Chain A
Amino acid sequence: MASEYAIEMLNITKRFPGIIANDNITLQLRRGEIHALLGENGAGKSTLMSVLFGLYQPEEGTIKKDGQVVKINDPNDANALGIGMVHQHFKLVECFTVLDNIILGVEPAGKFGLLQKEDARRRVIELSEKYGLHVDPDAKISDITVGMQQRTEILKMLYRDNEILIFDEPTAVLTPQEIDELMQIMRNLRAEGKSILFISHKLAEIMAVADRCSVLRKGKYIGTVNTADVTMEDLSAMMVGRNVNFHVEKKPSHPGDVILHVENMTVASKVHKNNAVKGVTFDVRAGEIVCIAGIDGNGQTEFVYGLTGLEPLVDGKIVLQGKDITNAPIRERSVSGMSHIPEDRHKHGLVLDYSLEDDIVLQRYFEGEFTKHGFLRRPNIRQYAEKLIEQYDIRSGQGPVTMARSMSGGNQQKAIIAREIDKNPSLLVAVQPTRGLDVGAIEYIHRQIVAQRDAGKAVLLVSLEMDEVLDVSDRILVMYEGEIVGELDPKKTNPEEMGLYMAGAKRDTVKKEA
C-alpha cells in the first residue's frame, strides 16, 4: 500500500472547441471513504468522469491508481482497474433478468460458450444479503422499481469486485425513503473497504453521507473540504461562487376566476397496467402559480400529457375558461388559450432541424398572419421572429435563420418560452422549465413565469426541484403515485414536510373543489 489514495486525478485539463471543460482539476479519492463531487450543471463533473473512464483523453494531467500512474484508454481499462460506475441513466437491458444484467460481459460459461448461471446466482444472492440490497436475481428489469434497478447496478460493480465505486447523481430518481436506504448501502460499502465517489448537487445528501467533498465551478477546481468542518451554506457558496439569493422576488398573488378546472382526471400508464394518474381534481385561478410537486415518475408526465392532449384520458373532465376540452384535440386546446412549455424540449418543444423562425411560429403558423391561401407568409414570419428574438433576448449565431439544433440549451428554452408566452395564453403549463439550465437562465425564466402571473394568467408549474417549488409557487399540490396527496402553502411549509408528502409518508384528503 504505497499510497493512501485509491485513485488520484492530478491537474486534469480537458478542452473542447471554444471551452475549457476541465481546467487543472485535481481529485484524490482515499481508500475507504465516501467522497462527494459537488458542482452545478456544466461545472465539469461529467467531463471529469469521462476522462476517468477513458472516453476522453485529457490534454494535461495524470491519473494514478494506488500511487502508480495509469493510462486509461477506454471503459474496459477502467473496469480492469476496479473502477465501476452507477450511471445516472442506468445501463440495464430491460428485457433481461437482474442476473443476466449482472453477469453480462463477464458471463460464466462452459463448453461452446454455454452459460452456467448457478454459481453466479449464488454469488449474487450472497452479495445482495451481505450489503442489504434485497434484489431478486430472477426478476425482469422492466418489472422492478427504479430503486431495485439501481441496486442491480450496484451489484454489477460488486460482482466484478470493483473497489472504486462511482455514483453519478444517484438520488435524482429515488423517493426519500429509497434515498435513505441508498445512504445506508453506501455506508455498508464503505465499511467493507470500498472507496466511493458520490457525484451530486444536493447539499443535504452530501452532508449526510460524505466524508470529504471536492467542489467544481465552471470547469475549475475550487477546493476539497471535510464535510464535518463546514456548513451547507459554505458548500453552497463554494459551488456557485456567491451567496446566491435563490428567492424569487414577487408580490403576493391575487387569485381571480377559475381558469382551469380538472376533475377526477385518470390517465393510463405506458409502462405498466395500472393508471399513472388516478382521479386528480383541482383548480387553477387567474393570477396564481400552482405547482405540482413530487418525485420523478409519480405520474406528473402522464398528467401533463393528459392535460395538454398528448394522451387520452381514461376518465375525468378538463374545463378551460368554462369550456369543456376533455376530448378536444391538441390544436383546439392551444387555440383556446393553453400554452405548454414541455418537459423535453428536444423531443416535443422544437423541431431541431428547423430554423429558429420556423420554430418560433410552431404554434401559430396556421394563423392568418402567417398563412394565406395555404401559402406561408415568409416576410411576416421573419418579422415576428425578429421581434421575439429582440424582446426575449434569444441569442443565436445567425438570427432567425439559425438552425435550432446549433443553439445552446438556454437559448432553445428561451425560444420556447417566448413562443408560448407571446401567444398570450390564459393558462401557461410549464413543465420543468429550468431543467439543465445555468443559474442566470433559471432566474430569467422564473421572472418570466412570475410576470405572467402578475399579468393575470393562470400558471401551472410542474417541477421536481424542491427549491423551485417553494420559491416560485403560490400554492403547492404534491403528487404521489398518481394522486394529489397534499395541498401546501409555500409560505407555511418547509422542505421536510414536503418531503414527507412526496414520499407518501403523509397525506391529506385534499378538499374537492368541484
Chain B
Amino acid sequence: MILLIQYTLVFTSVLMLVALGGCFSEHSGVINIGLEGIMVFGALGGALVMKYLPVGLPGFLFFIICVCAAMLAGILYSLLLAVAAIDFKADQTLVGTAMNLLGTAAATVIVKAINTAENPNNPSSTIQYIAAKKHFLFVDGYEFNWFMVLAVILLILSTVILYRTRFGLRLMACGEHPQAADSVGINVRKMRYAGVIISGLLGGLGGLVYITAGVSEWKFENGVAGFGFLALAVMIFGGWKPTKIALAALLFGLFRSLSNVYTGFGFLNSLNLPSTVYNMLPYIISLIVLVLFSANSAAPKAEGIPYDKGSR
C-alpha cells in the first residue's frame, strides 16, 4: 500500500508539474505539444548534473543544483518552440512534434557520445545516478522525495501567479485575445515567450522528477514514454486551471502507478490480467477523459494562432 502511495505521489508530481507548464504556455496562446521533448531535455540536464556533481556535496545544495540544471535545460529547449511559433509563425503542432522526436534523438546522441567517449565499448544511452538519487529522498528506504514538496510549492505559486498578479492577468489576456492585450500596450510577443519559457522550466523539472521515480538509471533512447502527452491530457481534464490540474494529476498518477505495483495487491493479482493492461491503463483513461471533456473546452481562445499585428 505504501508503495502505491509513494508511486502515486511521484507520478502525480511529474504530471502536475508538466501539466502546469503546458497550462502557462497555452494561457499565453502557444500550444505546447513539445512537452515530451522538453521533459527529455530537463531529465538529461538533471541526469548529467547528477552524474558529474561530486556526491559528497550537502544534500540540499545537491538537490538545488539538479533542479536548476533540469529547469535550465528545459528552458533552453523550449526556446526552440518559442522562436518558431512566436517569431516565425510556424505550425505549432508540427514544431512540437519535431521537438518531441528531436528531444529523444538528441538526448540519445549526447548520452551515447559521452558514454562512448568514456569507454568505446559502451555504446549505450543509459546514465546511472544511484548515489546521487539518495540526496532527494527524505526518508531512507522510501521513495518519498523532496520533489513532491517542491511540486506543491510550485502549484501554489502557479495559482497565485496566474490569478493574483499583473503578470498572470496579462499572460491570460494574450492567450484569450491578443489584439485586446496589444491595444492596451502589452507586448504579446514577450508574454508568449514568458509563457513558453515557464513551460520549459516546469516541463524540464518534471522530466527530472520522472527519471528519478523509483529508478536510479535512465535509458534515454526510451524518451519519457508519452508522459508529456499524458500531462497534456491532465491539463485538458483540469480545464486549464492549476487546482483542478492537481486533482486530475492525482487521478492519472494513481492509474499510472498501478502498473508498477499491481503485483502487490492480492485482488488485482487474482484478476490475472496481463501486465500490458496496466501499461495501457493511463492512456485508455486519458482517451476516455478526453472524450468526456473535450466537447465544451475551456481552452484559451487564441491558442495555436500566431499573433499577427496586422490582423485587427
Say yes or no: A100 contacts B169, CB within 8 Å.
yes
Within 8 A of A (CB), among B76-106: none
Contact A113-B184, Cβ < 8 Å, known A94-B176, A94-B301, A104-B170: no
Chain B residue at minimal CB-CB distance from A50: B312
Interface window among B33-41, B137-145, B160-168, B260-268 = B160-168
Q: Is B249 positioned at the interface, with any CB of A under 8 Å from its CB?
A: no
- A48 to chain B minimum Cβ distance, whole angstroms, is 15
Q: Decide: A104 near B176, CB < 8 A? Known: A94-B301, A115-B164.
A: no
Tell whether A114 pairs with B164 under 8 Å between CB atoms, given A91-B183, A100-B169: yes
Contact A104 B165 (CB under 8 A): no
Is A87 in contact with chain B by the CB < 8 A criterion?
A: yes
B185 within 8 A of A: yes
B167 and A91 within 8 A (CB): no
Binary contact track B8-27/A, C-beta < 8 Å → 1, others 0: 00000000000000000000
State the CA gap A89–B178 with chains docked (Å).
13
User: Please, which residues of chain B bring their CB within 8 A of the CB of A75?
Assistant: 182-183, 185
Q: Known contacts A93-B172, A115-B169: does B180 contact A104 (CB below 8 Å)?
A: yes
**B176 in contact with A113 (CB, 8 Å):** no
The answer to the question of A96 belonging to the interface, with a C-beta cut-off of 8 Å to chain B, is: yes
Q: How many residues from A make CB contacts under 8 Å with B?
A: 24
Complex CA gap A91/B184 in Å reads 9
- CA of A106 to CA of B183 in the docked complex: distance in angstroms? 12
Set A76, A96, A100: member contacting B185, Cβ < 8 A: A76
Cα–Cα, bound, A436→B250 (Å): 53
In the assembled complex, the Cα of A71 lies from the Cα of B120 at a distance in Å of: 66
The answer to whether B177 and A94 have CB atoms under 8 Å apart is yes
Contact of B180 among A76, A93, A112, A114 (CB under 8 A): A93
B contact residues around A55 at 8 Å (CB): 309, 312
Instruction: Tell me which residues across on chain B come within 8 A of A95, comparing CB atoms.
Output: 172, 176
Taking CB atoms, residues of chain A closer than 8 Å to B166 are 107, 109, 113-115
Kindly list chain B residues whose C-beta atoms are within 8 Å of the C-beta of A379. none
Contact A114 B186 (CB under 8 A): no
| Interface SS majority for chain B | helix
How long is the Cα–Cα vector from A76 to B182 in the complex, in angstroms? 9
Please tell me which one of the listed residues B160, B165, B179 contacts residue A91 in the complex, with CB atoms under 8 A apart.
B179
A93 touches B186 (CB 8 A): no
Nearest CB in chain A: distance from B27 CB, A: 11
B181 within 8 A of A: yes
Smallest Cβ distance from B253 to chain A, in angstroms? 28
* Given A75-B182, A106-B184, 13 more pairs with CB closer than 8 A: A75-B183, A91-B180, A91-B183, A91-B184, A92-B180, A93-B177, A94-B177, A95-B172, A104-B170, A104-B184, A105-B185, A112-B165, A113-B166
How far apart are B158's CB and chain A's nearest CB, in angstroms?
14
B180 to chain A: closest residue by CB = A91
Judged by a CB distance under 8 angstroms, whether B49 is at the interface is no
Complex contacts, A87 vs chain B, CB 8 Å: 183, 312
CA distance A150 to B173 in the complex (A): 18
Q: What string of 1s and 0s marks CB contacts (under 8 Å) between A477-490 and chain B?
A: 00000000000000
Closest to B298 in A: A95
Q: Which residues of A contact B301 (CB under 8 A)?
A: 94
Contact A105 B184 (CB under 8 A): yes
| Interface residues contributed by chain B, number (CB under 8 Å) | 22
> Chain A residues with Cβ under 8 A from B177's Cβ?
91-94
Interface residues of A (CB under 8 A from B): 55, 75-76, 79, 87, 91-96, 100-101, 103-107, 109, 112-115, 156
29 contacts between A and B (CB under 8 A): A55-B309, A55-B312, A75-B183, A87-B183, A87-B312, A91-B179, A91-B184, A92-B177, A92-B180, A93-B181, A94-B177, A94-B301, A95-B176, A96-B172, A96-B173, A100-B169, A104-B173, A104-B181, A104-B184, A105-B181, A105-B184, A107-B166, A107-B169, A109-B165, A109-B166, A112-B165, A113-B165, A114-B165, A115-B164
Using Cβ atoms and an 8 Å threshold, which residues of chain A touch B182? 75
Q: Bound state CA distance, A156 and B184, in angstroms? A: 9
Contact A104 B164 (CB under 8 A): no
Residue of B whose beta carbon sits closest to that of A79: B185
Q: Please measure, in the bound complex, the distance between the C-alpha atom of A114 and the C-alpha atom of B162, giving whole angstroms.
A: 10
Q: Which residues on B sit within 8 Å (CB–CB) of A103?
A: 169
Q: Which residue of A lies closest to B160 (CB)?
A: A114
Q: State the Cβ distance, B240 to closest chain A Cβ, in Å.
A: 10
Q: Which of B110-151 contact A (CB under 8 A)?
A: none
In the complex, which residues 57-80 of chain B have their Cβ closer than 8 Å to any Cβ of chain A? none
Known: A75-B185, A114-B164. Is A104-B179 also a contact (CB below 8 A)?
no
Q: Mark each residue of chain B from 273 to 305: 1 if its CB lies under 8 Å from any CB of chain A, else 0.
A: 000000000000000000000000000010000
Q: Which 6 A-B pairs have the closest CB atoms?
A: A105-B184, A91-B180, A107-B166, A113-B166, A109-B166, A113-B165
Residues of B within 8 A of A114 (CB): 160, 164-166
- Complex interface: chain B residues within 8 A of A107 (CB): 166, 169-170
Chain A residues lying within 8 Å of B164, measured Cβ to Cβ, are 114-115
Cα distance, A100 to B185, chains bound together (Å):
15
- Chain A residue with minimal CB distance to B177? A93
Least CB distance, B183 to chain A, in whole angstroms: 5
Contacts of A156 in B (CB 8 A): 184
Q: How far is the CB of B24 from chain A (nearest CB, A)?
A: 15
Residues of B within 8 A of A93 (CB): 172-173, 176-177, 180-181
Binary contact readout B225-258 vs A (1 if CB under 8 angstroms, 0 otherwise): 0000000000000000000000000000000000
Give Cα A109 to B312, complex, Å: 29
What is the minimal beta-carbon distance from A158 to any residue of chain B, in angstroms? 14
B180 shortest CB reach to chain A, Å: 4
Q: How far is the CA of A115 from the CA of B172 in the complex (A)?
A: 14
Question: Chain B residues with Cβ under 8 A from A94's Cβ?
Answer: 176-177, 301
What is the bound-complex CA distance between A55 and B183, given in angstroms? Answer: 11
* Residues of A close to B309: CB separation below 8 A: 55
Shortest distance from the beta carbon of B95 to any chain A beta carbon, whole Å: 22
**Separation of A101 and B180 alpha carbons in the complex (Å):** 9
| In the complex, chain A residues whose CB is within 8 Å of the CB of B165 | 109, 112-115
Q: A344 → chain B, closest Cβ, in Å?
A: 16
Residue among B160, B166, B167 with max Cβ neighbours from chain A (10 Å): B166
Give complex CA distance A97, B166 in Å. Answer: 14
Residues of chain A lying within 8 A (CB to CB) of residue B312: 55, 87
